[in-house]
Structure 1
């Protein structure tokens, strides 16, 4: 009887141990897991069986407690409906993450997305997923579909990092990632051919950061309520197609980069900041939140090249002598602000002593009259009647060209007849080299009208910033 009693007690102890297995695993100091690098195709359930202190799994719900590394020959598969909760080991505050040197497939679906989150809904305590293609050619075939990344990253980490990786990211949501003004955020692409489509970025510190990315594209994506900026772009070439950027301080910051935007809507405080960069913008709209906001800030040899696009404030800051914005007026597209009002005014904020700004049109109907400079004035200058800027107006109709300088009276001088017809009426404001009072921050305000004699529809005026 004593033997049987002891056996019964022993069985009870084993049963209790089995029931509390997950708690026992949590009590262990978690080990980092590294895959065997032998061509294995792994799931988190299999990793949990091999290293229970690293991953605690009940089949579809996985608690990640330490760093997981997938070696170059191996593949990690995360299936539809799985949830990954990253839980740091509290005594050491080890920050869990997944580093993929081989391949990863996150196979979420619209009805069963994969969720990657924190046990507690605060960021900075899990470091996201990093695809590092420096070790393998497999990285080009990785795919991340229908996944939600939330509460990831910290001052120097992102929810998803593509490092030398041409993985495809599609139908994903990045939410509340990053926790610092310095770098952290949702998606970081480094030396990668970054292909992102049909994704939603909301409430992140920074949404996207690109460095040395050679031919990346962001398609059908939405960006909203970012803390500091939608995109930080350095030494990269990237295109945005059919994207929406809503509510940020500076929407896009670009340094030594080439950016194209097609069918894109952007609303922010200070628009797009360019430094040694080129922007081509086509069939797009830029809306400034504040009345003092700028559509563009151009620094050090930057150029804006725009076609058939709308800028509601039409205010540009140029802070060096070599950056140029050329503004075209087109007569075959409608240009309205977000309230349905036509744009009658172009306002250019000049913050350089030597910047040059040109306004001109595409080849328009022959009935288009010469542009009338109705009002011209220089603000914040010591002597109004000797402005540091010269206004030139001319028409491009062959031998009948003319130029009129120093227009600083409310009406056009008599030698500019409104009865003349022009194919390309132009207005140019140029820094006067003899002026003594041009200082950064001087503002040139003028209103441009055209006389519609029937060759164009009513209010059919379009701001078209294509370079000549």
Structure 2
């Protein structure tokens, strides 16, 4: 047990089965640029080499400090803390400064460990601030909370799971991470059954030279929640997610973050291969030097693998970015519901590629300085009903003769016959405030319409918390049936016969509350002609049929 002031002149080795405890209020001073043992990882600098356990329990009133003896200390005066083996690592109210690295914690083997780094400061190192790596089948559960990690030459925080059957479960919460080369990085290897489950929550990440938060998924199944972080003034993307898993599924929830003034994209989701269906909800993204939100499926990468990128984007406010508000390039459909995308320097929404119908509904898309509110560069059609497009575009729509070429506002089949059509019908006449409550809308059939037949009811739904299901009633609320999907949902309906039907929908959220019911009325009249879809019986057309 160390206490008071401890002066270190060479490497300290803690063997397996031994615990080094440092008492509250202790100052540990490492003789600068000196190692009497001339050993370890750095023969010229003293270091703590932990194969057993290290427990440093400072307090707010009596913190522990590990520092250099130099009168003018500098990064790299001593080497830092390196820990391997099965032992415990606990750091609370501890400052580590002026080392070559802060904490390098690497475990290899089939055992479980739970390192804890809380209420501590790691600063002014010549390399990594905090580095946690599990491999060889280890099960690592890490708590990294309420720390200040800054002015490190490489990573602020780095977490990794590699090799077969390795598991990483990490909580990285309420940290200040700034002035590093990289902010927070999380990586999973491509090894079989190597996986991470991570919560990155309420961190302040800013002024890092490259990415604010960088996540790469290359293992079988990874689960990630990035919630309530503030990321700004970083040298590349504020938040970058890359999926490169050949067989696994990457599940991510990106919610409640503020991404601003980063040197590139605010949020960049990049899928090389494997399956990724990110849920991006209630983020505020503004004043970034690239696109606000960008989703990209990379083609022709290891041609024998396929990729699925299908984003669900709801309740975000995206404005004043120097690129597009939202850029999407994917082989699947995208769902963009109830967002405000405005005053970006380029297009509001740039749909570069899609092989299926994307659903872009109940949004506010206006004031973007590019030529188009929505640019559909794909051959697939776009369901863009029920949006507010701003005054100028709305005026052009309201002039009549729809559908038509909306000059210099929507790019689709009217501008290039190889592109898909943008269905902009049922537009709103004013901006729609983003809802703070769960809400569902019925899109098809439209309210107060008369039709020969209906075989499918479709709609949209959003909620600030997880949607468990959307339910549909076709009998005035007497019975309710689950729909398929959530932010874009559908329900296959077999109509009993002619008559007037009240169609209703509601959202059931994670707290079990059914929200206010949406209602549309439709009249089924078999004497009408079929305007789209499959004929259900013989028909005779005459005169003018639309």
TM-score (norm 1): 0.61
Quote the residue 2:27 is aligned against. 83
Quote the residue 1:206 is aligned against. 155
* Residue pairs, 1:111-126, within 5 angstroms: 111-120=61-70, 121-126=73-78
Structure 2 residue 305 is matched with structure 1 residue 360: no
Quote the residue 1:168 is aligned against. 116
Quote the residue 1:96 is aligned against. 46
1:171 Cα shift? 0.7
Quote the residue 1:304 is aligned against. 278
SS of the equivalent of 2:66 reads: strand
Change (3 A) 1:373 1:456: closer
* Residue pairs, 1:230-269, within 5 angstroms: 230-235=184-189, 236-248=196-208, 249-256=210-217, 257-267=222-232, 268=234, 269=236
Quote the residue 1:320 is aligned against. 298
CA contact (8 A) 1:327 1:464 kept: no
Q: Pick 1 or 2: higher relative contact order, CA cutoff 8 A, min separation 6.
A: 1
CA contact (8 A) 1:81 1:113 kept: yes
Change (3 A) 1:351 1:307: closer
Number of aligned residue pairs: give it. Answer: 350
Unpaired stretches in structure 2, ≥5 consecutive residues: 162-166, 190-195, 245-249, 300-306, 340-360, 387-395, 405-409, 440-461, 467-485, 488-546
CA–CA distance in structure 2, aligned partners of residues 449 and 266 of structure 1? 37
CA contact (8 A) 1:326 1:465 kept: no
Aligned-pair RMSD on alpha carbons? 4.8
SS of the equivalent of 2:325 reads: strand
CA–CA distance in structure 2, aligned partners of residues 448 and 108 of structure 1? 63
1:90 Cα shift? 6.3
- More moved, 90-99 vs 245-254: 90-99
Quote the residue 1:18 is aligned against. none
Change (3 A) 1:465 1:389: farther
CA–CA distance in structure 2, aligned partners of residues 173 and 133 of structure 1? 24
Structure with a larger share of its residues in helix: 1
CA contact (8 A) 1:279 1:303 kept: yes
Quote the residue 1:31 is aligned against. none
CA contact (8 A) 2:8 2:46 kept: yes
Structure 2 residue 144 is matched with structure 1 residue 196: yes
1:465 Cα shift? 11
Quote the residue 1:273 is aligned against. 241
Unpaired stretches in structure 1, ≥5 consecutive residues: 1-42, 45-58, 363-368, 380-384, 397-409, 418-426, 437-446
Deviation per CA, 1:100-129, whole angstroms, max 9, x where unpaired?
333222121112211112234233353322
